[in-house]
Amino acid sequence: MAIERGGMPGPRESVCIQTEKIYDSCKSKECAEDLRVYFSEPAQSMIDHANNIKLKCAEVLYVDTEVERIQFNKCYYNVSITFYFKVTVEITTGCSTTTCVDGLAIFCKNAMLFGSEGCSYVFTSKDYENANNIRLSHNANMPTAVVETVNPVALDAKLTETCCDCHHPVMSCDCCSSTEHIPGCIGGSFPEGLVESSRKRVYVTLGLFIFIRLQRSTQLLIPSYDFCIPDKNCIGAGCGDDPCSFFEKLDFPIDAFFPPSCCHDEINVCNSCNTSSCRGSLSMDAPSVSNNPFRQNDE
């Protein structure tokens, strides 16, 4: 929060800043149906002998984006987006034994956005560190794609004996997608590796909320009110405080004694195999629940 000096309201001057200007953006509510889940070899062996399956939760591991010019539509670009999800399923084998295993689901989406046109090459003093790797590119001054999303809503899962047909754009059969081009950072989440061959396969349906935008680094003239001087004193971690005084500031953990009938904390669901998630509501305005029941009151 800026503090006005001299009691003079309104901007004091105009300043030029370097920033990322958003040229176009869109939002998308996607129901990604029948995404194949890839498992490690031990997990796939259990899947092959499973009688039933239940989708517990899914979380975003990584989102890969590529921007390409659209040839016959000047200033517009195609944004190719690939989502990588870590999916947790509960499988039931003989004698009603249940086990949770993790796998990888992949979803692809395209969006066309306006990104304006730029032909200049931009160099900074930081580029000197990479001077030995100088390479001219035909994609000079391309806009930057930014994708924002939240952990998907776990909607459904099914167990099939054979591969489904690939007529659906998101079906992940062998003829549609594979684990061949999975980024290294994703593979690190599955140290045992992922396999494609299987006798039974798992397909999941996820609900996605996505924001996509194209932005460029540019100079803007904006009004300046003052420097951003903090008006709040820093508060320590409380190590030197009286412990009883610190304790008095804590809320009573009601939820610890009376567990709520429905929870909105997806992290807790993913960390506990036996915790059931509330998948009935798709509202984005659901209140968040703190992981720590002993939270401090706002002063």
What is the rounded CA–CA span in Å between residue 187 and residue 49?
A: 25
In this structure, the number of other CB atoms found within 10 A of the CB of residue 105 comes to: 24
Distance, in Å, from the CA atom of 24 to the CA atom of 22, rounded to the nearest integer, reads 6
Q: What CA–CA distance (Å, rounded) separates 67 from 112? A: 10
Of 190, 210, 207, nearest to 145 by C-alpha is: 210
What pLDDT shows up at residue 212? 94
Segment 265-283 mean pLDDT = 44
**Is a pLDDT exceeding 50 seen at residue 247?**
yes
**Neighbouring C-beta atoms of residue 281, cutoff 10 Å:** 11
CA–CA separation, 274 and 160 (whole Å) = 24
Do 223 and 11 meet the contact criterion of CB atoms below 8 Å apart? yes
Give the CA distances from residue 296 to residues 231, 249, 264, in Å, rounded to whole numbers and listed in that order.
21, 6, 20
Between 275 and 33, the more confident residue is: 33
Q: What are the sequence ranges of the domains in the chain?
A: 22-116+145-215
Q: Which pLDDT tens digit goes with each residue over 159-177?
A: 998 654 443 433 444 444 5
Question: What does the pLDDT look like over 180-213, one tens digit per residue?
Answer: 778 878 878 888 888 888 889 999 999 999 999 9
Give pTM, 2 decimals. Answer: 0.69
